[in-house]
Amino acid sequence: MSEYHNPVLLNDSVDALIIDASGIYVDCTFGGGGHSREILTRLDQNGKLFSFDQDVDALRNKIDDPRFELVEQNFRFLKNNLRIRGIKQVDGVLGDLGVSSHQFDTPERGFSTRFDGELDMRMNQNAKLSAKTIINEYEETDLARIFYDYGELSGSYRLAKEVVKARTEKQIETIDELKQIFSFIPKMKENKFFAQMFQALRIEVNDEMAALKDMLMQCTDVIKPGGRLVIISYHSLEDRLTKRFMKNGMFEGEPERDVYGNWSAPFKPLQSKVIVPTKEEINENPRARSAKMRIAVRNEE
């Protein structure tokens, strides 16, 4: 079993999250348990931590601590799972988004361009939709949409056309077979190109943007006034959604203002600039290179 990544912005994120050592907290993205373990060191005997993860591999990292509970669910079901456990509000929610190093480094999971393997990319291995299904069954227009919307790839219709053309000859089942379709991409550009394409497929497979929106919206009810919301993201799509939500509680458009031009937002960002890792952390942990952290406090009702 491959190692899970070192937690990114570990002390910065937990410092921002913990406002009460006796409080109740949520780690939405348990993974290897790095953030969760650090949170538990900051809590006293009355504190409580609920961590979420839908990946069965993450269950092997479960922490033996009476103050800890691992919820085997996607974080988009945050509110219901807390309510089932009798928890109406918490003191803080942390989300370290993206794919773990363990997922990237396990060839059969299909997340990485570095290995050949089946086109999978499911974070929940019980889910039906995989990258192979998308590549072989999606209509050309839908392929173009996800390449453009989630991969931010130019020429998305041409790329989709190439996939449809290739699959008429044979089913596309592996990472290498997908990469061969795009052999025309210049060598100097192919790493970035395939990173963007794999990001697009992964987001579609796991419905990541909708899941993030669901979780953020539920935080309005789940986090108590004065509580903290801390999100670490790794690409512009996630960061954009997080930034807009923390600013005005919406993902698109502008909130309605009163006659004085004011509006009521559920959260207030704690700083105007995004927080990024230090050069030292990036040198020690290359995965931190693209990380961006935003912190917000829940406003009073």
89 known member of a binding site = no
Angle at CA of residue 16, ends 150 and 288, nearest 5°: 45
How far is the C-alpha of 164 from the C-alpha of 147, rounded, in Å?
A: 14
Longest distance between any two alpha carbons in the chain, whole Å: 63
Exposure letters 175-207 (e unless 16+ CB within 10 A, then b): bebbbebeeebeeeeeeebbebbbbbbbbbbbe
Radius of gyration of the chain (CA): 20
258 known member of a binding site = no
The dihedral built from the CA positions of residue 243, 245, 247 and 251, taken in this order, carries a sign that is positive
What is each CA distance from 215 to 74, 193, 208, 239, 257, in whole angstroms?
Answer: 9, 29, 11, 14, 25
How far is the C-alpha of 235 from the C-alpha of 239, rounded, in Å?
A: 6
33 known member of a binding site = yes
- The structure tokens listed for 210 are 């909708």
- Other C-beta atoms closer than 10 Å to the C-beta of 100 total 26
Contact 66, 43 (CB under 8 A): no
103 known member of a binding site = yes
Angle at CA of residue 47, ends 44 and 48, nearest 5°: 140
100 half-sphere exposure, CB direction, 13 A CA radius: 26
102 known member of a binding site = no
Burial classification of residue 77, based on how many CB atoms lie within 10 Å of its CB (0-12 exposed, 13-18 middle, 19 or more buried): middle
96 known member of a binding site = yes
Binding-site residues for S-adenosyl-L-methionine sit at 33-35, 53, 75, 96, 103
Q: Which residues are annotated as a binding site?
A: 33-35, 53, 75, 96, 103
